Amino acid sequence: MSPRKQPPAHNLKTSRSGAVKRRSVFWRSRRVLYLGGLLGVAAVAGALWAASQVQLPSTDPTVAQTSFICTANITTDCNEKNAIESLHGNVNRISVPLSQISPAMQAAVLAAEDKDFFKHGGVDPVGILRAAFIDLTGGNVTHGGSTLTQQYVKLTYLSQERTFKRKIKEAALSIKLEQKLSKKEIFQRYLNLVYFGRGAYGVQAAAQAYFGEDASHLDLAQSAMLAGIIRNPTWASSPTRSKDLRHLVLGNMLSDHFINQQQHDLADGTPLGVQPFTPTNGATWLGGPFGRGGDPAGAKYFMNYVERQLVTRYHLTNDQIFNGGLRIYTTLDPTMQQAAYNAVTSTLDWQGHPLGALVAIDKSGQVKAMMGGTSFGSDNALGQSQFNLATDAKRSSGSTFKAFALAEAVHEGYSIGSIVPAPFKQTFPPDKWHAEPYPVAADCCDSGSTTLADGLKFSVNTAYVNASLDLGPDKVALMARRMGISSADLVPPRGPVLSNVLGSHVSVLDLASAYSTFADNGVHTDPIVVTRVEDANGNVLLSNQPKRTVILSKDENGKIVYSMEQVIKGGTGTNADIGRPAAGKTGTDGSGNPDDPNNRNAWFSGYVPGFTATVWMGNLHENDTMPPTIQGATFPSEIWRKFMSAVLVNTPPADFPPDPTDLWGGKYLTSWGGTSGQYTYQGQGNTGTDTGSGPSTTTGSNGQGPSTTTGGGPATTQAPATTSAPATTSPPVTQAPPPSTAAPPAANARAPSG
């Protein structure tokens, strides 16, 4: 056996007694340790230099935030507590000040994440060294020991990569951030930024997502559970893990003296109380003045229309709308919306047909109520779902369109006392407007002519087809468009047609907008549903100033208002009488089959000074019919009366401007004079031929072949039997109609169904 090898002499030392001893391992490794120390110093120096080069961004990056929509009663500070709806994408974040987060929640987060947050300078040296050691030895940095400040810095400024370099940068930024912001400001920002699962970012969104509470109301048990899932939000889907996490946080709070044993035990034994989770990527109903349940007052249809308008009319992006933390102020009046809902639902049977819709607009163009349905987002028995009857249904307007023919006549200087043919039956032969003969028949008439005013009052179809023929259907269509009928089907393959005056396809919103021109002295204001939009910082992105256009002079408008007042006072709209100055027009769209007395659409559109409402009744499918008892003069007029009576109950009656001094003034339509054409009319006991100045060949089809348009059954109010207006509204002698030799006797032609 070979002798044992002796250590080198420099590794030996001699004791005082002369004994030889081996030197320690540190002595033997001194060169390596020295080199390591130099490298360590260099590394620290390099890290410090690198840290000194890191600059804190001057502004924080924009984070996704939830937007809110408020009704008209909220004019400032629209938020999650007063909003009717919230809009958010994948990120549901609602920022709140620290004062609105419960003390229990604040303490739970500190105990779970960083108990010494208010003591340190922004970093945890032990955690940094641990991360550095793992990185240098080739491991993964999975144990960070990060402070709340570091977590905020990582979420706000850095990536999620786990490297030593990122850790050094994170520490440097954290120190600089604590020099810039107070501890409370950093804590508030963190609590509004961190993710809790269920798409909820920040404590406020999390409180609502898990417990349906505001952050200010979170109790100890709720707070401990939420604080526990910050490390891994997916664990919240497991009740067992959620309880374990809550127990762990409560234990930390007890040991850190945030709570006592009694509070710990009580909270630890409390049921979780987490509400079921329904993903709400998009719009979340908050209720505002209407409450959270269901769709009270049918306001969800209005809110959906607002969302569409933000994109199509105001050109906001989806990212702005759903992630921009916008505050959207709308025109919807909660009281009026509730009145609209009550008026419609108390009149109609919503378990079956027909359906109803209502839109109300004030003189500034603001849509104050929109009843577009009652079951938004759910397929009910009627199949309506998200289909907005007030904006998306384009239906034949019936005789409500006659008002635009009257407006065009007055605008061209014709008298409302102009006499036009109103025979019992009249057929218009083909011409450039139609390819087929166009018969117009009414079973109500016992004579052959009427005035424009009375033709409107009693809704005489033949009278207004003749008036439209004299004026030109294209001019009537243009007047309707100028007044706001953007949705009307006024441009068939051969252009506007005579039948437009008896009903064009319009939406309830468009018809209300157009009639609001009459309510505002002939000035049309584009309808709006949004008054102002602010960003998350309160900067105004949109302040809505609707476009106002003078369509009719005050005198012209006054003549139309007078004529439409008569509709309610003694014509087809008496069911809409609200006991104060009001004007309006009924409208009924028949089945289209002469042998079928049922109707497809029924309308009433009316106004008081400065305020307009339009009511429609019909079916989801346009060609489905309703009983003949449902016509403009019946249920729609009743709904309008109920609504107006409710919203005006505390408003003193207002008069329309005085009638024009030349109420009956103007020239006369030329249907009864001239030699350029001939009309053939047939009345009850009155048959004859008249030579007129209109086109020699005219038609009145809707482009779908021959059609018959009826004015309905007999009126309860008799029209005058003279060639002029009624005695109480007779035009001056100087404005009398042409001599009787040029005009047959006036008719009591009337059509109460409108």
Q: Per-residue pLDDT tens for 596-650?
A: 888 899 999 999 999 999 999 998 888 888 888 899 999 999 999 999 999 999 9
Residue 286 neighbours by CB under 8 Å, 6+ apart? 68, 80, 83, 84, 85, 86, 292
Rounded to 5°, the CA angle 659-669-584 comes to: 40
**Tokens 């439409």, residue?**
564
pLDDT of residue 74: 95
Strands 419-421, 449-451: pairing kind: antiparallel
| Phi, psi dihedral angles at 409 (to 5 degrees) | -60, -50
Rounded to 5°, the CA angle 189-233-203 comes to: 30
pLDDT of residue 681: 34
Fold of the domain built from segment(s) 396-742: Beta-lactamase (3.40.710)
Please list the ranges in the chain whose pLDDT falls under 70: 1-61, 124-145, 158-166, 278-281, 293-295, 349-353, 377-385, 428-447, 487-495, 670-754
- Token pair, residue 578, equals 């609200």
pLDDT of residue 708: 32
Rounded to 5°, the CA angle 391-393-398 comes to: 110
- Spatial contact of 203 and 110, defined as CB atoms under 8 Å apart: no
- Spatial contact of 490 and 480, defined as CB atoms under 8 Å apart: yes
pLDDT of residue 168: 74
pLDDT of residue 500: 85
Residue 741 neighbours by CB under 8 Å, 6+ apart? none
d(CA 615, CA 605): 6
* 234 class by beta-carbon count within 10 Å (0-12 exposed, 13-18 middle, 19+ buried): exposed
Going 640 to 643 to 646 to 648, the CA torsion angle's sign is: negative
Find, among 344, 332, 440, the residue nearest to 707 by Cα: 440
**Tokens 């309707």, residue?**
480
Find, among 517, 714, 516, the residue nearest to 633 by Cα: 714
User: What are 25-56's pLDDT values in tens digits?
Assistant: 665 566 666 666 666 655 555 555 555 556 66
Fold of the domain built from segment(s) 91-268: Penicillin binding protein transpeptidase fold (1.10.3810)
Strands (E), 314-374: 327-330, 355-362, 367-371
From first CA to last CA, the distance across the chain in angstroms is 129
- Between helix 239-255 and helix 220-228 the angle, nearest 10°, is 110
Domain assignments of the chain as residue spans, ordered by start: 24-53, 91-268, 396-742
Find, among 513, 523, 456, the residue nearest to 487 by Cα: 513
* 157 class by beta-carbon count within 10 Å (0-12 exposed, 13-18 middle, 19+ buried): middle
pLDDT of residue 620: 83
Find, among 330, 364, 398, the residue nearest to 516 by Cα: 364
pLDDT of residue 429: 58
d(CA 535, CA 540): 7
Find, among 668, 669, 674, the residue nearest to 693 by Cα: 674
If DSSP codes are grouped into helix, strand and coil, which group holds residue 317?
coil
Strands 327-330, 67-70: pairing kind: parallel
User: Would you mind telling me the total number of residues written for the chain in this entry?
Assistant: 754
Query: 3-state SS string over 381-392?
Result: CCCCCCCCCCCC
Strands (E), 416-456: 419-421, 425-428, 438-441, 449-451
